[in-house]
Amino acid sequence: MTTTKIAPELIADHAHSVSARVDSDYKHLGEQLARRNVNIDTLKAEVAKFAVAVPSWGVGTGGTRFARFPGKGEPRNVFDKLQDCGVIQQLVRCTPTVSPHFPWDKVSDYKELRQHAESFGLGFDAVNSNTFSDQKDQPLSYKFGSLTHADAGVRAQAVAHNLECIEIGKQIGSKALTVWIGDGSNFPGQSHFRRQFERYLDSNRQIYAALPADWNMFLEHKMFEPAFYATVIQDWGSSLLAAQSLGEKARCLVDLGHHAPNTNIEMIVARLVHAQKLAGFHFNDSKYGDDDLDSGSINPFQLFLVFNELVDAAQSKAPNFNPAYMLDQSHNVTDPIESLMTSAVTVQRCYAQALLVDRTALTGYQDSNDVLMAAQTLKTAFHTDVTPLLQKIRIEAGGAADPVATYRASGYRAGVAAVRPAAGPSSGIV
Amino acid sequence: MTTTKIAPELIADHAHSVSARVDSDYKHLGEQLARRNVNIDTLKAEVAKFAVAVPSWGVGTGGTRFARFPGKGEPRNVFDKLQDCGVIQQLVRCTPTVSPHFPWDKVSDYKELRQHAESFGLGFDAVNSNTFSDQKDQPLSYKFGSLTHADAGVRAQAVAHNLECIEIGKQIGSKALTVWIGDGSNFPGQSHFRRQFERYLDSNRQIYAALPADWNMFLEHKMFEPAFYATVIQDWGSSLLAAQSLGEKARCLVDLGHHAPNTNIEMIVARLVHAQKLAGFHFNDSKYGDDDLDSGSINPFQLFLVFNELVDAAQSKAPNFNPAYMLDQSHNVTDPIESLMTSAVTVQRCYAQALLVDRTALTGYQDSNDVLMAAQTLKTAFHTDVTPLLQKIRIEAGGAADPVATYRASGYRAGVAAVRPAAGPSSGIV
Amino acid sequence: MTTTKIAPELIADHAHSVSARVDSDYKHLGEQLARRNVNIDTLKAEVAKFAVAVPSWGVGTGGTRFARFPGKGEPRNVFDKLQDCGVIQQLVRCTPTVSPHFPWDKVSDYKELRQHAESFGLGFDAVNSNTFSDQKDQPLSYKFGSLTHADAGVRAQAVAHNLECIEIGKQIGSKALTVWIGDGSNFPGQSHFRRQFERYLDSNRQIYAALPADWNMFLEHKMFEPAFYATVIQDWGSSLLAAQSLGEKARCLVDLGHHAPNTNIEMIVARLVHAQKLAGFHFNDSKYGDDDLDSGSINPFQLFLVFNELVDAAQSKAPNFNPAYMLDQSHNVTDPIESLMTSAVTVQRCYAQALLVDRTALTGYQDSNDVLMAAQTLKTAFHTDVTPLLQKIRIEAGGAADPVATYRASGYRAGVAAVRPAAGPSSGIV
Amino acid sequence: MTTTKIAPELIADHAHSVSARVDSDYKHLGEQLARRNVNIDTLKAEVAKFAVAVPSWGVGTGGTRFARFPGKGEPRNVFDKLQDCGVIQQLVRCTPTVSPHFPWDKVSDYKELRQHAESFGLGFDAVNSNTFSDQKDQPLSYKFGSLTHADAGVRAQAVAHNLECIEIGKQIGSKALTVWIGDGSNFPGQSHFRRQFERYLDSNRQIYAALPADWNMFLEHKMFEPAFYATVIQDWGSSLLAAQSLGEKARCLVDLGHHAPNTNIEMIVARLVHAQKLAGFHFNDSKYGDDDLDSGSINPFQLFLVFNELVDAAQSKAPNFNPAYMLDQSHNVTDPIESLMTSAVTVQRCYAQALLVDRTALTGYQDSNDVLMAAQTLKTAFHTDVTPLLQKIRIEAGGAADPVATYRASGYRAGVAAVRPAAGPSSGIV
């Protein structure tokens, strides 16, 4: 079937057609970096190890409460989603895992699912539970909350769903459960903040108790939406309190779009590293709220500054530092495959740039309060155009120098559109 | 049919049961106001004239991109919506008009629709067009814009829809068209800002040309959502530029939830009054973004400050000052009828409090820079509990002293739920 | 000396002139509250116990980096400041303590200072250290930090200053040290976030070790200013981490103006109560940043919601709950005495309104998800005009029914202006 | 005198020592650009024409209301300031003009001042008036406003000061007056918004009438600070209304730090270009408010997007498009000369990158809604490291390849510190 994967020959041909140019640019970049005492081949080996997970729901077209405008050839189920994720990994070679979402991705045979993923060279990352929307035939509604609902029956149902997610996760090779809830309130007075938080802790203790020994539990905070007056886990402070209360396996996940305006996110990263509670990231970008835009599309320097903290933590051997990386974006106006490939490369780019920071010099400037040179040390790394480095890494791994161009040349989207029926327009919820 | 309206006897009984208490409180409030040289009966007459429109879509349950949790007895069509709006007006007596939304409220016979509305004591306010979502069988998609789309065909389709809205509006007695579009971009570079704005002006000129002589066109700005990087009419500055370019009938509508964080909205109101371009308001409240929460539920003092500007403009006879008032809220966790009744009363409360401001004293304090007393002059008005005044007005008009209690006692919701089928859960768009 | 205090006869005369009106209003309010099963005299007794500290620096005129416009008769030293604070307490009767700031308020004889305060009926609240500005003849500069400075010598100097503050505090009867630092950075890269935080903890451990057994240490977070890229204790999460690390006596102080835009502050209060780490408050209001405006002048409902949490915590006997209250405002365009009196009454007003919340009903609505009635339960309390209650409390305590009017009638400001020389204009720093 | 300027031989030596490396990098960049059909020499010629003004006050050390920590060798007067600006221009070669501020820069002989500037190769840009702080011996205070003060006498004084600025400007060769006022209010009710705005217009009409035929008047908006509740010219909408009311010579100046959180500033630029009312820019960067940080230090991509609009406007020959560029930063923790040099280069970098945008391709992507490729077209330009291009331009113009290194090597700061007395610490205003 021509739509299953991109033909390897096509990728090879594309790579071949640009390899001379890439080699030349790579060589010159290497000369520039050598002047800064950076060995480009060592750097390449380091960057080549970088990986970021793709969320299964990310390959579908997103929307807003006002409308969803479907794309062509949208995946109908988790098997289609894995196929799309396989294409992404084929071309960018840094997205080897998929993070599934339940009940959306439920199937009858998880062994089959796992094999299906493996056939695309994919494994599974953290499993995600969903108690922020009601499913058909669900006995009790999450309209007024799930893990924190005033009614014990609803909480039990939500706990049970998370336990089921762990069970599924075991079968597909996951090692973590991500818990994000929409619980909160739309009116002052609607919820009793402290009792609600205690219910949150109580429900999560039951989930935590079911975690296998080698699993972690990722708690995800969000300032607002779907709740518009108050959210139970509204910021990293509440997330930290909860993670501390639950135990060692509980950690705090940072979604870049879930913060108050103007928040210094890289500082939060540093604090969670200090507290040994950083779970990892949901990468995306935003200008206004939880906009779920493509990673680095609005403020690439901020993404670089986050990686600057991460590289520093890794190089200084911060204890219990082992963050999980995932893209979490909503693609409303682009082909999701193209956006995810571009975003994976953008995240990888920031990682490479952060590796370029001269940390010995930086430490010296920081300790002597040479503020301007400290700032310029970061800027020098950020200004470096590492494009040829990233291209070289992809080509060497059998991927595409230019993933979007290769993808477009393959006709993949038209191929799947021919077999996946088109969705009708969604008129929005308002 | 028992569900058609609230039984007038029920309302009268409720009113009777509290009238002694209301009279006593009203009398004491009158004494307090008399000390401030305010005649409470004169005030009552003024407040009793206040009216705010209800949007037809407001009586349905709202949602977010994550989920919609339907309520009981939701209206199936515009006839059901008008019935619900009729109940609101029956009880609060300050919501005599409904603002319809097309194509959602399209019917085959608008004369019948108008008569149906009149049977509930309702008229129609501004008509609203919808080019932010696609409808079934719509030839061209609004995925990449409507009135500002790069393709002339899409623009023509969007213009035609607005022209149709004007035609419908003529038949149902409207005098204004409200144009809000979702056009914008999610990525830097996606749209050319200036060409896009010129297309906006060009499309609107065609709509403007079709306005009857006694109509106005309301342009509504919004900072973000559904577009997450840039919106075409993102603030009152762009709205003003457009309204100036279109002509006298074009004015700027202020939705309280459509502004940047920290924005001083009452100042914008003052500037639009100065420019003789204030169209009116979409009332709601918010804490984070376009949260569409109940009016005054988060920051009631801000709502009072808006009315302080409006009363000042009216009393100083600002030229071309004739704002239209509408509630525009999304009711995700409450009975929409209860929220709309409560919000109508809240808006009316702020109007009454703004009328209580001693403007002669205020002017004196402002001109002599007695800052503290100027501020306290507003606070004295805001602290005044005008509840008995509003209750008295409702009772005298045949409404309910306590609209929510009376509504609940009537069993209206259970009645309509028996005849209107329940909607299934909506699992969200993400 | 006529300027020392307000003449008690003047206060009594003013009180006498309005007592009939106050009694009438109080009586009617009592009737209204009785219908809600609230005994107004019991309420009065509760509210009468409320107290909020005044900061010594608050009686001076504030300014911005652009300019300071001095007022008339500004206090020249801590003795003058105490005199002004004495007048505030004389008239409002709910500000019995003063919070001093060092080195600004240093004197040679603290016994004398304490007696001076007592002569005005004043005691001392928490002592505040200052390491955010350099003093004349200070050996090392805080330009690049104080408790977190890269240089150990600067940190030692800053620690020593805090130890000195504790020593002074012991002499004047304080029981707490408030530590707010301006440390942070203006450029990405300037400071190493984790090492800087570790230095913060290390310095504070030395200060903590010197605390007397019955003292507390209040850590105050602030999002930005004077540092404009990153602040060491930027939010309540970092403050919590630090307080946890230091020990039981360390707690988190909430200044209402030190948060990101849109932050739900009342939620943070609830979380700190849960964590048993709430130190107390610096009250003020703001629209944009750390504006230090008069408490409740911009968003009075938010202040009420904060007190709603506090009253709930007290009534539910939350463990280790004993918050300290202080006004912390900058008075740039008003007479500081007038602003502080008005703000003290505003804070007291919100406390009284929060006591009016029907918590039994509220709990019922919360537990049954009657969202609208839960919200209205708060609004009913907030709408209540408790002005006559507050007036009655002040009159009974020998204060003024209308503090500002009585103060103005006293001629106090002109009196002190005659003996305190005028300051020249300050042209700003930019 | 060795401190007057940097020795030209030092600059030449430094340039010579790096010229081989710069030539090599420039050559390789040229090859890369040639593949994109960009001729690097043509580009170089274009970028070399770019110039940005330096504000006279920028070479002094800034501060906050909490403290000012003076630097070494701070300029004592406008002659010292010009000397410092001369050094900046010597090294970066793109800052040929200085924007003075009155009364700070008043002298007895403006012919002498002009000659002094010319001796450093400098001319004068827009003159800035100051009515936001009081000066010694000033008859009336601006505490409650200047051009908008309720008192006609204060307004007349403020108008007269602006007229004097124009007179001075004529003598020193300026062609524009920038009017920024601190007028506003700290309390709701303090000012009557509409009357205040009318007074603003009335005062400015008097100033406008005095403008020479070839002058412009730049109106600068700011959201907040020093006024904390409302500012008279709070956003571009009010600025536009004022500029329209005044006439053709009045235009709207955009200071990057004067906007609400999350504001899309590049959109405002596009709207002002459309309205033919863009005066120009005050460049700086910010994370929270008007932080006055170094240009591009926090969000360099935003600065690039602003220049993307400017280059597009220039290349499409937008009518009446002739923006003025100035740096407007507050240097609290760096050597102001170093920050201004670095910022000038940063602004120049963004201009060069914006020139690299393939506008033909971009237009095609925009018109066909190829969103991803449109976004990537901007990113490709932004990723380009134009450092060698900028170095080459500076070297060819006699400037420094690395301005900061050359400046440090020169010992200039130590030189001026020897002759300019040190300032004492400023303890802040709070």
The structural domains of chain D, with segments of one domain joined by +, span: 8-417
Eight-state DSSP code of residue A386: -
Residues of B in contact with D188 (CB under 8 A): 266, 301, 305, 308, 375, 378
Of the residues A287, A288, A339, the best mutation for testing chain B's interface (the one with the most B CB atoms within 10 Å of its CB) is: A288
CATH placement of domain A8-417: 3.20.20.150
Gap from B276 CA to chain D (nearest CA, Å) = 11
Q: What is the pLDDT of residues D341-398, one digit of tens each?
A: 999 999 999 999 999 999 999 999 999 999 999 999 999 999 999 999 999 999 999 9
- Whether the CB of A365 is below 8 Å from some CB of chain C: the reply is yes
Contact D228 C429 (CB under 8 A): no
- The dihedral through the CA atoms of A26, A27, A28, A31 has a sign that is positive
- Whether the CB of A276 is below 8 Å from some CB of chain B: the reply is no
A250/A219 Cα distance (integer angstroms): 7
Give the model's confidence band at D3: pLDDT under 50 very low, under 70 low, under 90 confident, else very high.
Answer: very low
- Whether the CB of C369 is below 8 Å from some CB of chain A: the reply is yes
- Whether the CB of A241 is below 8 Å from some CB of chain C: the reply is yes
- Whether the CB of C429 is below 8 Å from some CB of chain A: the reply is no
| ipTM topping 0.85 | yes
How much of chain A, in percent, has pLDDT values that exceed 70? 98
Q: What is the pLDDT of residues A345-355, one digit of tens each?
A: 999 999 999 99
Instruction: Please report the residues numbered 317 through 336 in chain D whose beta carbons come closer than 8 angstroms to any beta carbon of chain C.
Output: 330, 332-334
Residues of C in contact with A287 (CB under 8 A): none
* Residue where the block lists tokens 């007479």: C335
- Residue range D137-151: average pLDDT? 97
Give the model's confidence band at C429: pLDDT under 50 very low, under 70 low, under 90 confident, else very high.
Answer: low
Q: Which of C66, C293, C425 sits opposite D226 (nearest CB)?
A: C66
Q: What is the mean pLDDT of each run of 10 residues along chain B (430 residues)?
A: 74 94 97 97 98 97 96 96 98 98 97 96 98 95 98 98 98 98 98 98 98 98 98 98 98 98 98 98 98 98 98 98 98 98 98 98 98 98 98 97 97 96 72
Residues of B in contact with C369 (CB under 8 A): 333
Q: Which of A25, A383, A404 sits opposite D372 (nearest CB)?
A: A404
Contact D427 C135 (CB under 8 A): yes
Q: Which of B187, B226, B334 sits opposite A67 (nearest CB)?
A: B226
Give the model's confidence band at C427: pLDDT under 50 very low, under 70 low, under 90 confident, else very high.
Answer: low
B425/A36 Cα distance (integer angstroms): 59
Q: Which of C62, C226, C334 sits opposite D67 (nearest CB)?
A: C226
For residue A257, give the nearest of B289, D293, C236 by alpha carbon: B289
**3-state SS track over A40-73:** HHHHHHHHHCCCCEEEHHHHCCCCCCCCECCCCC
Q: What is the pLDDT of residues D52-110, one digit of tens each?
A: 999 999 999 999 999 999 999 999 999 999 999 999 999 999 999 999 999 999 999 99
- Whether the CB of A139 is below 8 Å from some CB of chain C: the reply is no
Q: Which of D301, D373, D384 sits opposite A299 (nearest CB)?
A: D301
Residues of D in contact with C342 (CB under 8 A): none
Q: What is the pLDDT of residues D283-307, one digit of tens each?
A: 999 999 999 999 999 999 999 999 9
- Whether the CB of C368 is below 8 Å from some CB of chain A: the reply is yes
Model pLDDT, residue C157:
98
Q: What contacts C270, CB < 8 A, 6 or more positions away?
A: A193, A194, A197, C309, C313
Contact B262 D261 (CB under 8 A): yes
Residues of B in contact with A191 (CB under 8 A): none
- Chain C residue at shortest CA distance from A368: C150
- Whether the CB of C289 is below 8 Å from some CB of chain D: the reply is yes
B168/B110 Cα distance (integer angstroms): 7
Instruction: Please report the residues numbered 96 through 135 in chain D whose beta carbons come closer than 8 angstroms to any beta carbon of chain B.
Output: none
Give the model's confidence band at A174: pLDDT under 50 very low, under 70 low, under 90 confident, else very high.
Answer: very high
Contact A262 C188 (CB under 8 A): no
Do residues D237 and D228 lie in contact, with contact meaning Cβ atoms separated by under 8 Å? Answer: no
Instruction: Please report the residues numbered 65 through 94 in chain B whose beta carbons come closer than 8 angstroms to any beta carbon of chain D.
Output: none
Q: What contacts D191, CB < 8 A, 6 or more positions away?
A: B366, D145, D148, D184, D185, D230
Eight-state DSSP code of residue A222: -
The DSSP line for D288-350 is: SSS--BPTTSS-HHHHHHHHHHHHHHHHTT-TT---EEEE----SSS-HHHHHHHHHHHHHHH
Indicate whether A2 pLDDT > 90. no
- Whether the CB of A382 is below 8 Å from some CB of chain B: the reply is no
Of the residues C65, C106, C138, C262, the best mutation for testing chain D's interface (the one with the most D CB atoms within 10 Å of its CB) is: C65
Q: Which of D223, D229, D270 sits opposite B194 (nearest CB)?
A: D270
Contact A261 C262 (CB under 8 A): yes
Model pLDDT, residue D429:
62
Model pLDDT, residue C2:
37
Q: What is the pLDDT of residues A215-272, one digit of tens each?
A: 999 999 999 999 999 999 999 999 999 999 999 999 999 999 999 999 999 999 999 9
Between β-strands B54-55 and B176-179, what pairing exists: parallel, antiparallel or unpaired?
Answer: unpaired
- Whether the CB of A32 is below 8 Å from some CB of chain D: the reply is yes
Instruction: Please report the residues numbered 209 through 238 in chain B whose beta carbons come closer than 8 angstroms to any beta carbon of chain A.
Output: 223-226, 228-229
Gap from C421 CA to chain A (nearest CA, Å) = 41
Contact B385 C387 (CB under 8 A): no
Contact D425 C261 (CB under 8 A): no
Q: What is the pLDDT of residues A105-136, one digit of tens each?
A: 999 999 999 999 999 999 999 999 999 999 99
B189/A74 Cα distance (integer angstroms): 25
- Whether the CB of C263 is below 8 Å from some CB of chain A: the reply is yes
A325/C418 Cα distance (integer angstroms): 68
Q: What contacts D260, CB < 8 A, 6 or more positions away?
A: B259, B260, B261, B262, B263, D223, D235
Q: What is the pLDDT of residues C325-376, one digit of tens each?
A: 999 999 999 999 999 999 999 999 999 999 999 999 999 999 999 999 999 9
Indicate whether D256 pLDDT > 50. yes
- Chain A residue at shortest CA distance from D372: A334
Model pLDDT, residue A1:
35
- Residue range A44-67: average pLDDT? 97
Contact B65 A65 (CB under 8 A): yes
Give the torsion through C-alpha atoms of A379, A383, A388, A391, to 10 deg.
Answer: 70
- Residue range A315-333: average pLDDT? 98
- Chain D residue at shortest CA distance from A289: D262
Residues of A in contact with C198 (CB under 8 A): 274
Gap from D426 CA to chain C (nearest CA, Å) = 7
Gap from D430 CA to chain C (nearest CA, Å) = 6
- Chain B residue at shortest CA distance from D275: B241
Indicate whether A74 pLDDT > 90. yes
Give the model's confidence band at D425: pLDDT under 50 very low, under 70 low, under 90 confident, else very high.
Answer: confident
Q: Which of D67, D229, D293 sits opposite C132 (nearest CB)?
A: D67
- Whether the CB of D374 is below 8 Å from some CB of chain B: the reply is yes
Between β-strands A97-99 and A123-124, what pairing exists: parallel, antiparallel or unpaired?
Answer: parallel
Tell me whether residue A408 is exposed, middle or buried, using C-beta atoms within 10 angstroms of its C-beta: 0 to 12, 13 to 18, 19 or more. Answer: middle
- Whether the CB of C297 is below 8 Å from some CB of chain D: the reply is yes
Residues of C in contact with A229 (CB under 8 A): 264
- Chain C residue at shortest CA distance from B331: C372
Strand order in the sheet with D54-55: D54-55, D97-99, D123-124
Gap from B379 CA to chain D (nearest CA, Å) = 9
Establish whether the linkage from the previous residue to A226 is cis, with ω within 30° of 0.
yes
Q: What contacts B42, CB < 8 A, 6 or more positions away?
A: none
Model pLDDT, residue C305:
98
The whole model's pTM is what?
Answer: 0.98
D44/D57 Cα distance (integer angstroms): 31
Residues of A in contact with D372 (CB under 8 A): 334-335, 338-339, 342, 404
Q: Which subunits have 3 or more CB–CB pairs within 8 Å of chain B?
A: A, C, D
Model pLDDT, residue C3:
44
Model pLDDT, residue C423:
81
Contact A429 B138 (CB under 8 A): no
